A and B are shown apart, each in its own frame.
Chain A
Amino acid sequence: MTKTTEHILPPVLERSNLLGWMRRNLFGSWIDALLTLIGVWIVYWAASGLLRWALYTAEWKVIVVNARLLMIGQYPIEQVGRLWIWLGFLIFLLGNSLAIWGRGSRIAPALLALPVAMAFIFPFGADPRKWLIAMTAIGLIGWGLGRVKPEALKRSVIAGWVISLPIIILLTYGLSKSEASIVPIVRTNLWGGLLLTFLLTVVGILFSFPIGVLLALGRRSELPAVRWFSVGYIELVRGVPLITILFMAQLMLPLFLPEGWTVDRVVRAMVGITLFSAAYLAENVRGGLQAIPKGQFEAAAALGLSGAQTMIFIILPQALRLVIPILVGQFIALYKDTSLVAIVGLLDLVGIARTVLAQPEFLGLQREVYVFISLIFWALSYGMSYVSQRLEERLGVGIR
């Protein structure tokens, strides 16, 4: 036996060299070869055109001059430190999480070094430079801590992510009305740019989550009145575009409230986004609830748990765990959808872009500004989905 197998060489095509690989993957048949040539031409055409534009034609000065406006809008400059603090907290958590769940991933240090790289590449002022360097330092500390004690930190990191949302909102909004306090209130009409986009997302996630879970439970309730109400709400909201809900929130919300109550425009948009997102979230959570086998309910009943106890301690933890990946996808979609508030006149990233393009010295630079904004949206949303995929693998969700 051994003698014969020694003489058998792998087929020529399967030998792993470049030529064999190319023949298999690029020139398998004449149609394949044609497609390859077309593909190469497309790549060359797109890449060369894009590079030529980005390096020679485009005037990136518009971004450099308006960088602060695009990032935080009119947020008072003496209060910017507060934003850096919560950003630092997020980066610390990110470093921790990458170390704990992303072991073996090489991108963690590279990702954390990004702020320093940005500080040196782009013409920032002295203050942002210092902060950016601090961000990398904080991130690396978090990463180091995570490497040293991955098991001990797990729970606190998860708790950290959960409480980071209210922390972001509180730090950005402020605590007390008096000017003398450390964190005076910054009115929402001063929020703008990426900051506003981000805050809308955070508020949307934080408030739509409990509403969504309640709606999902309501839809599966045995009480017809509750069930029909939930079904009606979910289907109504899912049947209409977000923009109509945002308009409703802007124009009709003030009418719904008693006389004398006023809600500012940003909060109205937040209400609209929350109500919209809750309906979609409810459907996702319902998917998780349906995946829980009946035996779980029966076992809980056999143990003597009440209906509410069964839900809170047995069903929801399992159901939510199952739908984590879908929920992350939902939150990424929410982040992209917040850009619609520009249509109702808020100055989020897209809204600010309009004001930037209205400056007389930057007329006609739509391509530069919108490419930059697309890049921000793309990078953050790609980053979130990448990280969530890694975490999914590590958490073992979906693979049982």
Chain B
Amino acid sequence: MAEKEEVFTVKTGARHPDLEQIEELSGQRIIDCYQCGCCTSGCPIGDWMDIPPSKAIRLLQLGQVDEVLASEGIWLCASCLVCGTRCPRNVDYARVAEACRVIILRRKKSMVDPDTVTDADLQDVPQQAFIAAFRKFSV
């Protein structure tokens, strides 16, 4: 017996306050997406995401904002911009994911702690990777 699929429950009533902010910070209109899936099929990291781009947008359309903000997927986006480049509706998911991250980071919750970087990695990994990761994933 299949369990009730919670993620597709439509929440009615007032729009989630974070959704306004996601649209504002990203400059994207979530409603424009018609779920063709081009973003997810092109996403180089989509295979590892719990909620891939097109599904995240669908959840936002249905008011399931908390699920998206709690997902790991938004932290796996590497900002390569394939999704937005191929979107026939001009919805740039990378900007949406960044808005979701920014909302969480501005609540002072870091996903990467610079103090945990090992000396071995510091000696080895190019600087640009650290700077980019700290900028995208930490307060």
A binds B: no
